[in-house]
Amino acid sequence: MKFTFNWLKEHLDTTASLDEIVEKLSLIGLEVEGVEDKGRELSVFKTCRVREAVQHPNADRLRVCQVESAEGEFQVVCGAPNARTGMVGVFAPVGSYVPGIDLTLKAGELRGEASNGMLVSEREMGLSDEHDGIIDLPADTPVGVPIAEALGFDDPVIEIAITPNRGDCLGVRGVARDLAAAGLGTLKPLKAERAAGAGASAVKWAIGDNAAEDVHYVAGRTFRGVKNGPSPKWLQNRLLAIGLRPISALVDITNYISFDLGRPLHVFDADRLRSDTLTWRKARNDEAFLALDDNSYKLSDTMAVACDGQGAVGIGGIMGGAESGCQDDTTNVFLEVALFDHISVAMTGRKTGIHSDARYRFERIVDPESARWGLDVATQMILDLCGGEASEVVEAGAVPDSSRSIELRPSRIADLCGVELSRERQADILRTLEFTVEDKADLLVAGVPSWRSDVELEACLVEEILRIHGFENIPELPLPRPSYLPHGVLTLAQRRASNVRTALCWQGLDEAVTFSFISAAQASLFGDVPETLKVANPISADLDTMRPSVLPTLLAAAARNTDRGYPDNAIFEVGPQYKGDTPKDQSEVAAGLRSGHLAAAHWDQKARAVDVFDAKGDALAALTAVGAPVENLQVFASAPNYYHPGRSGVLGLGPKNALACFGELHPKVLKGMGIKGPVVAFEVFLDNIPAPKVKKGEASSSKIRPALELAAFQPLKRDFAFVVDADAPAEKLLRAVRGADKALITDVALFDVYQGKGVEEGKKSLALTVTLQPRDHTLTDEEIEAVSQRIIQQAMKSGAVLRG
Amino acid sequence: MENLDQLRSDVLQRVSESETLEALDGVRVQALGKKGEITGLMKTLGGLDPEARKAAGQALNVVKQEVADAIEQRKAVLEEAALEAKLAEERIDVSLPARPAHVGRMHPISQTMEELVAIFGEMGFSVAQGPHIEDDFHNFTALNIPPEHPARQEFDTFYMNEKEDGSRPVLRTHTSPVQIRTMQNAEPPIRIIAPGRTFRADHDATHSPMFHQIEGLVIDTETNMGHLKGTLIEFCRSYFGVDDLPVRFRPSFFPFTEPSAEVDIGCTREGGQLKIGAGDDWLEILGSGMVHPKVLEACGIDSTKYQGFAFGMGVERIAMLKYGIPDLRTFYESDLRWMKHYGFVPLEMPSMVRGL
């Protein structure tokens, strides 16, 4: 919403300065988005007289001008074709900043002639695109007048943001009313008297039954013998100042009243209407309508339209028709002043996609009483500017009764806001906002003005009072602490997400945050995509599906980095994946990938391509960080099929309880995502990690650890080599060996895997170091031999043979 | 025993002239070994009378000890020289680069959220979370935003496909549904923050279709707007680390609060450089207000008994302001160079007592 300072003063009798007004507007909830004060910005540029302009001795297109300015006489070299002796122009002195050409002027010489300053064009001042010549003012303009005053744009333009509840401030008068209530002047009375009509209106209104809920009331009258054409300069300047294009007096009047009073209007050329009754009805589906913006719209049967004998001439509350609109030669006018249902206008507006000033206002609820005074104000203005004669008023429907009252307990101001304010002051503030106030025992009963449809409950009155009293007067109170020391505020899941993030950073991966949505094509690389994951109105086809895994967005990121020349990615994300559209379908995952090489080539170690064991290590680091029972996890070869079928695994407590997946990604997936392999990845399903066990008889918050038992005897190590089938999982052997003596064996480390000479085809040799920790005595040779035999037996049971 | 003096000086000279440990050991064997010169003289003592034997024995022992000491000293010197020679031999170029080890960086969004948890956690707020794909009730209706409300248009909502029952899930446009779910499930007093992903159909230089919000909610019987002011002023000052940061509350409108306030912090913009702190300009960073009675009632909370405040802000926005990150869109691009530059070493969790 834009208006000018002088326009505001048409409604507000005030001595406040622009700065005071601007500050107050923000403090009462009418947030100032900008102030354009050309007068202030351009104050250094003033009118001057060209005493003499002569041909430059060394340049055909330049003139040397002697310029009389308020600061004295200067020589200026000027290239403008209209520079001439005796003209009055605008002078930019040396040292001034010329906005249109982004230049600070310096004294200089042009082809051997001194030039101290500049005679400027409108474009150089940033005022318009006009640059055919320098500004050429009437010859009687005195020297030294600021440019804004000389050109008539010294009225500052204020732009404010209006929140959706304040439809009443979509007219300058509403803004003035709030400022008056806030103590910055008094609101001038609105001049609206009903002019008696002469003769019957040429056009009458009717509201059809099916449109009665959309159109509550409509009034109008005919103006005969008006003269349209350009509106007066003052009106054009106001509209131009707020960014509206003047069209003709009649149209400008409706626009002006819309912005001045928040009352949208429409004017028909009465001679272009094809019947003497205009009827509101629902449009027919696919009914075509050519609107004032020269676009054709397809209507539908939820939209209310005004129709003459042959078809629609206006969409209710949105826009009139092109064919029935006023033209420069219009002499007979029919005025529409209507009240539409705001929801109906909003729905129609959304469907047609038309953004008009009328729609904007009707959606935010126009003051119903404006249907009465709006007709009078418009009548007066049409008669004043276009002449002619007004007919009697015609109307249909009824202005709805908007009167209501709300009870306010004066104690609520203190209860809700911590502000002590006397009930007299509370009542006064409401009255300045034109509420009626009745003081009843322990209540203030406030009658709500017709234009404040947003005020519904007691809390709204509290807000109104506080807004005008000033939020700056609310005390700053500390929030009492529920306890002397803060308690832990994170849930287990939240702490785990935070910890896994830290762990993966230390693991050498950078944290990424990527979108929750991807393209359907990318999603389908990660399994079947149910319809419940599809976004109905995506912002682009690339982002039309909720991601079934975190990996596709990470892969896309890695592909982008690779394309930029950074192929060695090590990135992770802790974020959501989705398998449907219900709350339980969302789960938290820590996923990461590595691509290219693990590290650049180094003088002491070769660059190594990433492999599946990097991903497995990352997964285990993540699982350790979240307190998963890493010792008890088994590896299953059942990773989802976006992994390489032979180079991937699942870490879980059982075949159906997957805590993590890891592996090389499937080459088809990499191809689909546009990245060259190998890429290894992992996903840790944080929601599947069991909560830590609480020991019987201990509080769940107990941090007690079991006592440390330190054996007094040195551990000893024995090496074994076993031969197993080449495709047998090593883990099977490791578990078997560990199980040979759970008390004595504290570690089993696999230190070599060998296939080749000396090992039968189809087999592999696994070499282990077993650590034995004696507990209460040094082991005898016999005991060591016995445990070795148990180890060998257990290994054989698992299908291994001691290597000879 | 003139020849003893001679022997003594001979042996000591040989010791001092030994250049290697091997040569020194040779000298030791020659003088003190089983068949050594001094050992030989010891053996001759038996042939002397007791008086002479005592005197000669003493003299011989002195020489023997002197020689042994000299050998030990020489040995130490030679060992030291040998070690030095060995170390000199082992010299390598230590300017060669160390083996590479990379510590990853934490994303600024995570860092900022941890900071927010640290601040509000200290004030007794716990952290609540909720689903991203929401229903109309939790995202709009319960927040006093009926379908025809003009505010709905301003949200640029993403919808999911319509379900069989005609309902249409939405991608939550704010984290407010978490407030609703909390109020539906918990008895007051309530004090939570709700950080998380949010979605709006808007994509340009300053809008991303996905971004993060954090909201706060306090519900009890006495919390009023003064507490809202106190809480948010304290927050702004500690988050930005500016003790005298001016904070301004302006009336505004949100369907879910009444009264509603927007919160500005002081700043300066000299030469295009934004600086947070006391200055001549304001920067809007928060929306807030007293929870609307209709919202409380929609969640089954008695609005005649309970009241409280809510607030919300964009996580990226405050991260950009605090850390000088110029472009919103870069947050989600995962450019390795960006992550290295703007990311955080995961060294310590933000904490009020350690300092943010």
Alpha carbon separation from A427 to A24, A423, B252 (Å, rounded): 21, 6, 22
Instruction: Give the model confidence (pLDDT) of A71-98 as tens digits.
Output: 899 999 998 889 899 999 999 999 999 9
Q: Is beta strand A570-578 parallel, antiparallel or unpaired with respect to A586-595?
A: antiparallel
pLDDT of res. B305: 96
Domain identity same for B174 and B75: no
Cis geometry, peptide bond prior to residue B259 (ω within 30 degrees of 0): yes
Residues 6+ apart with CB under 8 A from B306: B188, B219, B220, B221, B296
* Nearest residue in chain B measured CA to CA from A359: B150
Domain identity same for A128 and A225: no
Q: HSE on the CB side for A542, CA within 13 Å?
A: 6
pLDDT of res. B151: 62
pLDDT mean over A732-736? 94
Q: Is residue A194 part of a domain?
A: no
Place of tokens 């406040």: A16
d(CA A353, CA A303): 13
Residues 6+ apart with CB under 8 A from A143: A46, A47, A48, A49, A68, A69, A70, A88
Q: Tokens at residue B116, please?
A: 């927010």
Instruction: Give the model confidence (pLDDT) of A512-531 as tens digits.
Output: 999 999 999 999 999 889 99
**Distance from chain centroid for Cα A237:** 34
d(CA A7, CA A253): 15
Domain identity same for A417 and A463: yes
B279 touches chain A (CB under 8 A): no
Q: Where is average pLDDT lowest: A188-202, A400-414, A426-440, B321-335?
A: A188-202
CA angle B325, B329, B334 (to 5 degrees): 85
Domain identity same for A251 and A390: yes
Query: Could you say which residues from 16 to 55 on chain B have a Cβ atom under 8 Å away from some Cβ of chain A?
Result: none
Which three-class secondary structure state does DSSP give residue B170? Answer: strand
- A219 or A608, higher pLDDT: A219
Q: Which of B254, B258, B342, B348 to mutate to test the interface with A (most CBs of A within 10 A)?
A: B258
Question: Burial, A697: exposed, middle or buried (Cβ in 10 Å; 0-12, 13-18, 19+)?
Answer: exposed
Q: Is residue B353 part of a domain?
A: no
Q: Tokens at residue A174, please?
A: 């509403």
Name the residue among A501, A558, A583 with its Cβ closest to that of B110. Answer: A501
Alpha carbon separation from A281 to A118, A311, A561 (Å, rounded): 63, 11, 59
Domain identity same for A600 and A626: yes
pLDDT mean over A204-217? 95
CB contact under 8 A, B258 and A463: yes
Residue B238's CB is within 10 A of a number of other CB atoms, namely: 19
Domain identity same for A568 and A545: yes
CB contact under 8 A, A27 and B191: no
Does residue B1 register a pLDDT over 70?
no
Q: HSE on the CB side for B298, CA within 13 Å?
A: 21
Q: Is residue B134 part of a domain?
A: yes
Name the residue among A540, A575, A581 with its Cβ closest to that of B160. Answer: A581
Please, which residues bridge with residue B261 across strands?
A: B251, B288
pLDDT of res. A151: 83
pLDDT mean over A609-616? 96
Q: Is residue B355 part of a domain?
A: no
Domain identity same for B71 and B157: no
CB contact under 8 A, A602 and B336: no
Q: Which H or E element spans position A23?
A: helix A18-27
Name the residue among A29, A531, A537 with its Cβ closest to that of B159. Answer: A537
Query: pLDDT tier at B294 (50, 70, 90 boundaries)?
Result: very high
Q: Is residue B354 part of a domain?
A: no
Question: Which residues in chain B are closer than 8 Å to A600, comparing Cβ atoms?
Answer: 100
Q: Is residue B94 part of a domain?
A: no
CA angle A96, A99, A105 (to 5 degrees): 30
Question: Burial, A327: exposed, middle or buried (Cβ in 10 Å; 0-12, 13-18, 19+)?
Answer: middle
Residues 6+ apart with CB under 8 A from A693: none
**Contact present, A368 and A402 (Cβ < 8 Å):** yes
Mean pLDDT for chain B?
92
Residues 6+ apart with CB under 8 A from B217: B179, B182, B183, B190, B191, B192, B193, B194, B291, B308, B309, B310
pLDDT of res. B204: 87
d(CA A470, CA A24): 9
Mean pLDDT for chain A?
93
**Contact present, A504 and B104 (Cβ < 8 Å):** yes
Where is the domain boundary, A473, A502, A520? A473
Residues 6+ apart with CB under 8 A from A204: A276, A277, A278, A394, A396
Query: Could you say which residues from 230 to 269 on chain B have a Cβ atom under 8 Å away from some Cβ of chain A?
Result: 230-231, 233-234, 248-253, 258-262
Domain identity same for A215 and A137: no
Domain identity same for B127 and B71: no
Domain identity same for B26 and B167: no
Q: Where are the alpha helices (DSSP H) in A400-486?
A: 412-417, 423-432, 458-469
Domain identity same for A32 and A173: yes
Where is the domain boundary, B89, B119, B153? B89
A606 touches chain B (CB under 8 A): no
Does residue A218 register a pLDDT over 60?
yes
Does residue B46 register a pLDDT over 60?
yes
Domain identity same for A581 and A678: yes
A198 touches chain B (CB under 8 A): no
* Nearest residue in chain B measured CA to CA from A606: B99
**Contact present, A610 and A678 (Cβ < 8 Å):** yes
A605 touches chain B (CB under 8 A): yes
Q: Is residue B186 part of a domain?
A: yes
The alpha-carbon gap from A582 to the nearest alpha carbon of chain B, in Å, equals 7
Domain identity same for B82 and B128: no
Q: Is residue A757 part of a domain?
A: yes
Residues 6+ apart with CB under 8 A from A256: A235, A238, A239, A381
Q: Is residue A513 part of a domain?
A: yes
pLDDT of res. B154: 63
pLDDT mean over A411-429? 95
CB contact under 8 A, A561 and B336: yes
d(CA B276, CA A119): 41
Please, which residues bridge with residue A158 across strands?
A: A3, A35
Domain identity same for A579 and A436: no
Q: Is beta strand A296-298 parallel, antiparallel or unpaired with respect to A288-290?
A: antiparallel
Domain identity same for B148 and B76: no
B109 touches chain A (CB under 8 A): yes
Q: Tokens at residue A689, please?
A: 């990690």
**Contact present, B253 and B155 (Cβ < 8 Å):** no
The alpha-carbon gap from A660 to the nearest alpha carbon of chain B, in Å, equals 21
The alpha-carbon gap from B86 to the nearest alpha carbon of chain A, in Å, equals 23
CATH number at residue A132: 2.40.50.140
Closest CA to A27 of A200, A184, A255: A184
Instruction: Give the model confidence (pLDDT) of B195-239 as tens digits.
Output: 999 999 988 888 999 999 999 999 999 999 999 999 999 999 999
Query: pLDDT tier at B348 (50, 70, 90 boundaries)?
Result: confident
DSSP state of B99: P
CB contact under 8 A, A507 and B104: yes
Q: Where is average pLDDT lowest: A205-214, A299-308, A461-470, B270-279?
A: B270-279
CATH number at residue A557: 3.30.930.10
Name the CA radius of gyration of chain B, rounded. 43
Does residue B153 register a pLDDT over 70?
no
The answer to whether the pTM exceeds 0.95 is no
Domain identity same for B139 and B246: yes
Q: Is residue B242 part of a domain?
A: yes
CB contact under 8 A, A586 and B132: yes
Question: Which residues in chain A are closer than 8 Å to B227, comparing Cβ atoms?
Answer: 418, 477-479
Q: Where are the alpha helices (DSSP H) in B90-207?
A: 108-122, 136-139, 150-153, 176-185
d(CA B216, CA A405): 33
CB contact under 8 A, A535 and B230: no
pLDDT mean over A208-212? 94
Domain identity same for A679 and A557: yes
**Contact present, A332 and A349 (Cβ < 8 Å):** no
CA angle A286, A291, A296 (to 5 degrees): 45
B160 touches chain A (CB under 8 A): yes
A467 touches chain B (CB under 8 A): yes
Residue A769's CB is within 10 A of a number of other CB atoms, namely: 14
Domain identity same for B114 and B191: yes
Question: Which residues in chain A are closer than 8 Å to B225, comparing Cβ atoms?
Answer: 416-419, 466, 474
Name the residue among B131, B160, B253 with its Cβ closest to that of A163. Answer: B253
Q: Where is average pLDDT lowest: A120-134, B109-123, B312-326?
A: A120-134
Q: Is residue A710 part of a domain?
A: no
**Distance from chain centroid for Cα A579:** 27
Q: Is residue B44 part of a domain?
A: yes
CB contact under 8 A, A31 and B169: no
Q: Tokens at residue A214, please?
A: 């959309």
Domain identity same for B125 and B66: no
Alpha carbon separation from A570 to A557, A562, A679 (Å, rounded): 11, 12, 10
Closest CA to B254 of B199, B215, B221: B215
Instruction: Quote the strand ranges of chain B, DSSP E.
Output: 126-127, 133-134, 170-171, 190-199, 210-220, 247-254, 257-270, 273-276, 281-291, 307-314
Where is the domain boundary, B89, B118, B134? B89
Q: Is residue A79 part of a domain?
A: yes
Query: pLDDT tier at A702 (50, 70, 90 boundaries)?
Result: confident
Question: Which residues in chain A are closer than 8 Å to B121, comparing Cβ atoms?
Answer: 486, 489-490
CB contact under 8 A, A478 and B230: yes
Looking at the structure of chain A, the number of domains it has is 6
pLDDT of res. A642: 97
Q: Is residue A302 part of a domain?
A: no
Structural domain boundaries, residue A680: 492-688
Question: Burial, B353: exposed, middle or buried (Cβ in 10 Å; 0-12, 13-18, 19+)?
Answer: exposed
CB contact under 8 A, A534 and B253: no
Q: Is residue A92 part of a domain?
A: yes
End-to-end CA gap in chain B: 87
Query: pLDDT tier at A354 (50, 70, 90 boundaries)?
Result: very high
Structural domain boundaries, residue B42: 4-89
pLDDT mean over A159-164? 93
d(CA B88, CA A475): 76
Alpha carbon separation from A661 to A504, A685, A757 (Å, rounded): 16, 8, 34
CATH number at residue B275: 3.30.930.10
Q: Where is average pLDDT lowest: A257-271, A316-330, A693-707, A785-799?
A: A693-707
Domain identity same for A31 and A55: no
The alpha-carbon gap from A557 to the nearest alpha carbon of chain B, in Å, equals 6
pLDDT mean over A776-794? 93
Ramachandran sector of residue A459 (left: φ over 0; alpha: ψ -120 to 50; beta: rest):
alpha
Q: Which H or E element spans position A552?
A: helix A551-563
Domain identity same for B265 and B137: yes
Domain identity same for B67 and B140: no
Where is the domain boundary, A335, A368, A397? A397
The alpha-carbon gap from A142 to the nearest alpha carbon of chain B, in Å, equals 37
Instruction: Give the model confidence (pLDDT) of B16-39 as tens digits.
Output: 999 999 999 999 999 888 888 888
CB contact under 8 A, B101 and A27: no
- What residue type is assigned to position B223 of the chain? T
CB contact under 8 A, A505 and B262: no
Closest CA to A253 of A243, A263, A329: A263
CB contact under 8 A, A539 and B203: yes
Instruction: Give the model confidence (pLDDT) of A277-335 as tens digits.
Output: 999 999 999 999 999 999 999 999 999 999 999 999 999 999 999 999 999 999 999 99
pLDDT of res. B2: 58
Which three-class secondary structure state does DSSP give residue A50? Answer: strand
Closest CA to A522 of A685, A663, A662, A668: A668
Name the residue among A475, A509, A539 with its Cβ closest to that of B104. Answer: A509
Where is the domain boundary, B89, B121, B138? B89
pLDDT of res. B57: 87
Domain identity same for B37 and B133: no
Where is the domain boundary, A688, A704, A730? A688
Q: Where is average pLDDT lowest: A43-52, A122-131, B248-257?
A: A122-131
Query: pLDDT tier at B65 (50, 70, 90 boundaries)?
Result: very high
Name the residue among A343, A415, A490 with its Cβ closest to that of B224. Answer: A415
Q: Is residue A290 part of a domain?
A: no
- What residue type is assigned to position B172 of the chain? R
d(CA B39, CA B64): 9
pLDDT of res. A411: 94
Closest CA to A294 of A354, A240, A360, A361: A354
CB contact under 8 A, B339 and A510: yes
**Contact present, B214 and B193 (Cβ < 8 Å):** yes
Domain identity same for A392 and A466: no
Q: Which H or E element spans position A320?
A: strand A319-320
